[in-house]
Every structure is written in structure tokens, then in C-alpha cells.
Structure 1
Amino acid sequence: MTNDWQGWRDAMDRALYGPDGFYTRPGGPGPAGHFRTSVHVSPLYAGAVATLLCRVDAALGHPDELALVDVGAGRGELLTGVLGRLPEAVGARVRPYAVELAARPEGLDPRIVWRSGLPAEGSLTGLLFANEWLDNVPLEVAETDADGVPRRVRVRADGTERLGGPVDGADAEWLARWWEAAGHPGVRAEIGRPRDAAWARAVRTLRGGLAVAADYAHRRTDRPPFGTLTGFREGREVRPVPDGSCDITAHVALDACAGPSAVLLTQRAALHALGVAGRRPPLALASTDPAGYVRALSAAGAAAELTDPAGLGAFGWLVEPVGEACAGALEEAALFKEWDA
């Protein structure tokens, strides 16, 4: 692995997706071995996505083939969970796609089409779901020098950084539009332009339906002044060293990614509207059905974790309809409103 200075975008790409990258290394444990996403917290998350897919199916008039595209599929955990929770009439028409650079895991449901890249533009009708994918799309990092000039941050494979040349061109335009604090000395920013492009391409996979991204996120009015670039290894936050030994991630400027018809929500609001709530079961159930009470109590605890406004519930959901049919797929719930967390 080279020790030459690189921009963070190239360094992340190599460290995450290169021949010996964190996500592509043969025989590795996959993301679940290093961090816990909403998918891993509880089957309730897959159940909520299944509910959403059923709403999309109904809005589209129950097409003969209904696509479910999981972008950044990991080891296929979300797709497996959703397929196990669909009504038979829907499941019989679902065509599931896993988009993931890692090799197909053994024993995966044979119905799942495993792909290293997105399907062709405009080729599918249904639901595209990207859970914690955009935060791993490589991007450049900038830091403002003592004179207030945003400069590109260069990095070596051991994590050592130095400031490079000034940010210019389209990246400078993106900073000026989307990162209000840029220009203040000492401020760091992640330039989200590659994520905007990646999401726009993902949305174009659909000729009709709904595209959803769920991720760590922030808005223009509350960008973190020192950026969010970090690493994860074996469940712990670590220094982001681009040598393939750890996950490297940064929160997503979802408002920059959003198309004109998109809605931004908190995960708490989205999951509540999809039937995931952390209410405790009635105590009387403990007397009439002790085992049922324990199961309900466990589900309530998992739902509370998924919707915790100080944790996973604060995630951003970018909900973008493609075509008019699904434009109101989530509007009937009063909790679905603009991102307010």
C-alpha cells in the first residue's frame, strides 16, 4: 500500500473498495462484524421496509414484477429480512437486487440478484432502499487555512494529513452553496458532490416507484464545524486511517442530495408512520400470556432503540418519488414532515 499523499476521495476508495479493502476483503466478517446498523438492531426494521414496499406496490397498481433494490447490501441481511415479511401475494412478484462490491455470501436466498453495480437506468419499477450507503461513498475533505482559504486535505496511508491546494471548480461551488461555515479558519468540511451524483444515479435506476436513503446526516444550517470523518473497527470509533483496516465514514449532506420532489424526514418519524413504535405492552398481558408479554416487551425495546431521537431515530431519511404514483406513499401520516432534528 502506497505512502504517497492523496486526496481523501482516492484514499477512501482504495481503503474501502480496493483489492484488500475493508468492504471487499475476501473472508471478512462484513459490516456487521464492526458496527451495528438499524438492520442489525431488530427485525422490526426489515418489517418497516416490507410495509413500505407493500405501499409502493399498491400505489403502482400491483405490477407483475416489483423491484426491491438494496444499495450497499452488506451480506444481504436487509433483503433477507424483507423477503421473510412480505405477504405471499407481494413476495411472489418481488424481484430483489443486492448492489454490493463484496462477493455474494454463501447460502443467500437464490431469488436475490447479486450485482456489483446498479441496474440500468430506468429499468425497474418498485422501491430502491439505501441504508447507510451514502456515508461510505468516497469524497474529498477540505480545511480552511489561517487566511480563510479552504484547501484540500491530503492524506497518507498511515492517516497523516497535510493541507494541499485551494479548493476550486465545482467543489468550491458546492462548498459555497452547501457548507455555510466554509471560510472560517480551522473549519473542516466533507465535500459531498460525489454523493449527490451517486444518489442521483441510484434514483435514475427507477422508471417509477420510490427511492429512500437512510443515513447519518446533517443540514446546511447545522453542519458540524470540524467535519465528521471517522473510522470504525470492531464496534469502536477509531482514527480514520485509509489502510483498509477500518471503516471510513462521514455524515451525509442529505439536503444537497435531495431532488426537487424529495422529502427529508427523521428516522423516528418515518418508522412511526410505518408502524414501528416503542410503546410498552399492557401489563395485563403478562397475566394472560406471559410469553407474549415478553416478546412484546422485547419488540418495544428494539423499537425504542430504532426511534431514539438521541440515537438512530435522529438519522435522516431522504424519500424521493419517481413518477406521480408514489408521490403520496408516505404523506398520509401526520408525522411525515420536513426533517426537523
Structure 2
Amino acid sequence: MITWRAAMERALYGPDGFYRREHPEAHFRTSVHASPLFARALAGLLAEVDARLGRPDRLDVVDMGAGCASLLTGIREAAPRDVARRMRTVAVEVEPRGGGEGVVWATEPPEGITGLVVANEWLDNVPLDIVEYGPGGPRLMLVDTAGNEQPGPEPAEADLAWLARWWPERTGRAEIGRSRDEAWAWLVGRMDAGVAVAVDYAHDAATRRPTLAGYRDGRSVWPVPDGSCDVTAHVALDSCAVPGLETVLTTQREALHALGVDGRRPPRELAVRDPRGYVAALSRAGEAAELTDPGGLGGFGWLMQAKEPAGLDFFRT
């Protein structure tokens, strides 16, 4: 038996791991696949970042857990021509999975990033440890490949400190998000200037709860760490934020609204003046409504952090 963090690492990224054998798109649908409006919104964010960076000769766009690089392709297609001409698109994935023209594949992000970093449903797959509280305090849970568990040793001091700060409940199970904090800090540390965006299933100190889950073929399954399914858990985005950086922590609904994604139906008068335009506008409104539905994708958390000279003040106006 091993810790859940070690088991997730092996089950997701080991030689026979889920992400080495499977295309994620075959198992779950993200905002990227729900509508091209998601990529267009991020292209708008990129244009804002580009202007604040003084329109550098090379403008990086890095996608963590890029899948087939659909998001990068969509951003390039939606970006203004001058912005697209200067873009260096980097797809970070365990192995190349296709992608459009100009996509650079890598197993980790480059250093010296100037531009935009997107981690869309990446942090929820960063392995983490799980504890269970008992009479003697929290104990790390150990697990085998069949999903059988037993309590193990006491967590390390750093994990105990994380639990004391970020997981208020002292009964039942808890998920130690320190590994996600470290992963996000490492990613932001690769950025010289620009904006980093994490989009994910999230909870905060007021809604913290155990969320470990498995997914296969678009369905929820028992999270068995044997490589047969995606193993994931919600992200404590509030704990991930790197201190000292300009930060916006919000929902996808609010973030996309700020970036111009509007789910309101077009006026009926348009159907008379321009029937085809009305149908197209109605379709976009439906897609926007799905992306911003507070009970679905719109309820995802967005963590945005900026390194000067980029800024996030336009999100506050």
C-alpha cells in the first residue's frame, strides 16, 4: 500500500497511466469543447495582456495539460492578426497529441514566459494526499491498486500546517492541497511577465469537502488508482494563490462576463431583419449560457495572477 499522492501519480502518469494511454477528450468534455467562445474569450484576455506588456516581439501562450491543443488552436484563430503573428504556442502534455500549425509540444512549460499561461482543468489532476481524522488525529490514507485503504502514518509537519490553515473541518476525510500550491507556484515561477489563469473544479474554506472522484467514458466511476480512469479532486484555489502578486479569484461565470461572453438571447426583432443572423446569435447565446451556467461550467473557479507590467485591474471595473 502507498499514499494516495503516489498512487495518483502512478495511475495517471506512470508507464501504463491513464493519460499515457487515453485521449482525455474521449472521456470528458471541458469548456474548450463546449464552445469556441471559451477560446475567443481567452484570445481577448491575451490581447489585453499583450497591450500591457508593450506588444513584445514574442508573445507566449502556454496551455498546461493541453490535450490535443484545441484551446491553443482556438486562441490563435480568434486572436487579432498582429497578435497571432507574434504568438509562440506551447502545449504542455505527457506526450504530443496532434495540434495545429505552429504548436510546440513540451512535457513541461518553458522558462522566461512572457504572455499568457492557461491551466484549464490541470490542477485537479495534480496528485495529492488524503488523510482521515481519528481519535489520534489525522492519518495519511494508504491505498492499493484495487482501491482498498488503510490508515498510515501521521502527515508531515508541512501538511499538518496546510490542514490547520486551509481545511477547517477536523473530522472525517481531508484532501491536502499543498502539492497543488507547489505546482502552481512552480508554474508561475516560469513566467517573467504576463498573466497566469487556473480554471478548475474548486472550493474555498467555506465550502471545503472531500471530493476525490473518478471519470471514465464521460461517467463518474469509483476512483480506483489502477490506470483505468481519471482520478481527480477539487482544487483549493484560495490556497494556491502565490503571495505578493496581483490576484483575482472568481467564478467562470463572472470572468467570462468580464471578457464579453453574454448568454442573453438576441432580440426578436433581429429574426425579422436578419433571420440567419438571429439563428447564429441564438446559437452563440446557448453556448455562452452553458459556459456561464452557475450550476455547471460557470461555477468553476478562476484564479488569475499577474506579473508586472501586466495587470488585472480591467477585471475589477
The residue aligned with 2:125 is: 136
8 Å contact kept, 2:140–2:154 = yes
Identity within the alignment, %: 56
Confirm whether residue 278 of structure 1 aligns to residue 263 of structure 2: yes
Instruction: For structure 1, list consecutive stretches of 5 or more residues without a partner in the other structure.
Output: 334-341
Q: 2: CA distance between counterparts of 1:56 and 1:251?
A: 28
Once the two structures are superposed, the pairs formed by residues 159-174 of structure 1 within 5 Å of their partners are: 159-174=147-162
Q: 1: CA distance between counterparts of 2:310 and 2:47?
A: 11
Q: 2: CA distance between counterparts of 1:47 and 1:8?
A: 37
Confirm whether residue 7 of structure 1 aligns to residue 7 of structure 2: no
Confirm whether residue 86 of structure 1 aligns to residue 70 of structure 2: no
Aligned to 1:16, which of 12, 21, 35? 12
Whichever residue aligns with residue 155 of structure 1, its letter is V
Shift of 1:148: 5.7
Aligned to 2:307, which of 305, 316, 322? 322
Give the SS at the match of 1:91. Answer: helix
Give the SS at the match of 1:92. Answer: helix
The residue aligned with 2:174 is: 189
Shift of 1:327: 2.1
Confirm whether residue 72 of structure 1 aligns to residue 65 of structure 2: yes
The residue aligned with 1:113 is: 104
Give the SS at the match of 1:70. Answer: strand
Whichever residue aligns with residue 41 of structure 2, its letter is A
Confirm whether residue 53 of structure 1 aligns to residue 38 of structure 2: no
8 Å contact kept, 2:62–2:118 = yes
Shift of 1:105: 2.3
Shift of 1:189: 1.0
8 Å contact kept, 2:117–2:195 = yes
The residue aligned with 1:218 is: 203
Aligned to 1:125, which of 114, 118, 136? 114
Q: 1: CA distance between counterparts of 2:179 and 2:162?
A: 11
The residue aligned with 1:336 is: none
The residue aligned with 1:151 is: 139
Whichever residue aligns with residue 197 of structure 1, its letter is E
Shift of 1:163: 1.4
Confirm whether residue 176 of structure 1 aligns to residue 164 of structure 2: yes
Instruction: For structure 2, list consecutive stretches of 5 or more residues without a partner in the other structure.
Output: none
Confirm whether residue 307 of structure 1 aligns to residue 292 of structure 2: yes
The residue aligned with 1:249 is: 232
More helix per residue: 2
Compared CA separation, residues 16 and 330, structure 1 to 2 (3 A): farther
8 Å contact kept, 1:55–1:329 = no
Aligned positions, number: 315
Let me know the Cα RMSD of the aligned residues: 1.2
Compared CA separation, residues 144 and 249, structure 1 to 2 (3 A): same
Shift of 1:329: 5.0
Q: 2: CA distance between counterparts of 1:271 and 1:80?
A: 19
8 Å contact kept, 1:128–1:210 = yes
8 Å contact kept, 1:17–1:23 = yes
CA deviation digits over 1:85-117, x for unaligned, max 9?
11111100011111111x2123x2231110001
